[in-house]
Homo-oligomer: A and B are copies of this chain.
């Protein structure tokens, strides 16, 4: 398997490239519009064919590169959770659905709570958690149908139920960390680790007084159009 983690410094967003070395089929998770030229060049350099551009959710902090990638690489199918009802997407994905990239299986785990469209993806022992589970943190729950109790359940039931050695690749990190493991987050995550009770988590999340993301007014409608102008 070819695997690359990519970073957008401006929004601290991680994008992931996953490809089958034999068939050259590839998927990209959470591409960023401003990085599409970089991503297309990388695909070309590696001789890969982009089959899927996959969103972990409708983002509020950056605009997806999915639509632009499909314009350049016309075989690409855009994948977004079904709850988004984003009619620009080619695949509206549901919990348990599996996407295939060559012999690689990418399994969707519906993990709402940060937003109602949040989906984590599992590939072997790797979890791509979007903004559901971050390194030493989690996504906020105060817009886009976010719900702290639901986020707690998603993380406990769908993610913390995985083996401790499972590698976790998040949608962002703001401190220069690139990955974590389920075991580390269960032990050390200050919001959720050490068997924090649900009520305490909900109270913590509901008590956060955060400014709105700078780009939310551009990003959410932009992402509902897969990053393409209406």
A residues neighboring B (CB under 8 Å): 4-9, 12, 15, 35, 38, 42, 45-46, 175-179, 184, 187-188
Contact = CB atoms under 8 A, between A and B. Distances in A.
Contact of A178 (B5, B8, B45): B5
Most chain B CB within 10 A, of A15, A35, A175, is at A175
For the residues of A in contact with B, the DSSP-based class is mixed
B184 A46 contact: yes
Report, nearest first, the 9 A-B pairs whose CB atoms are least far apart. A7-B176, A5-B178, A45-B188, A6-B176, A38-B175, A8-B176, A9-B9, A9-B176, A45-B184
Nearest to A178: B5
Nearest to A45: B188
27 contacts: A4-B177, A4-B178, A4-B179, A5-B5, A5-B178, A5-B179, A6-B176, A6-B177, A6-B178, A7-B7, A7-B176, A7-B178, A8-B176, A9-B9, A9-B12, A9-B176, A15-B176, A35-B176, A38-B175, A38-B176, A38-B177, A42-B177, A45-B184, A45-B187, A45-B188, A46-B184, A178-B178
A17 to B, nearest CB: 10
A138 B178 CA distance: 23
A132 to B, nearest CB: 20
Nearest to A6: B176
Nearest to A5: B178
Contacts of A42: 177
A110 to B, nearest CB: 28
A12 B7 CA distance: 11
A22 to B, nearest CB: 14
Nearest to A177: B6
Contacts of A15: 176
A99 B45 CA distance: 34
- The interface centre, meaning the residue of A7, A15, A179 with most chain B CB atoms within 10 A of its CB, is A7
A224 B35 CA distance: 37
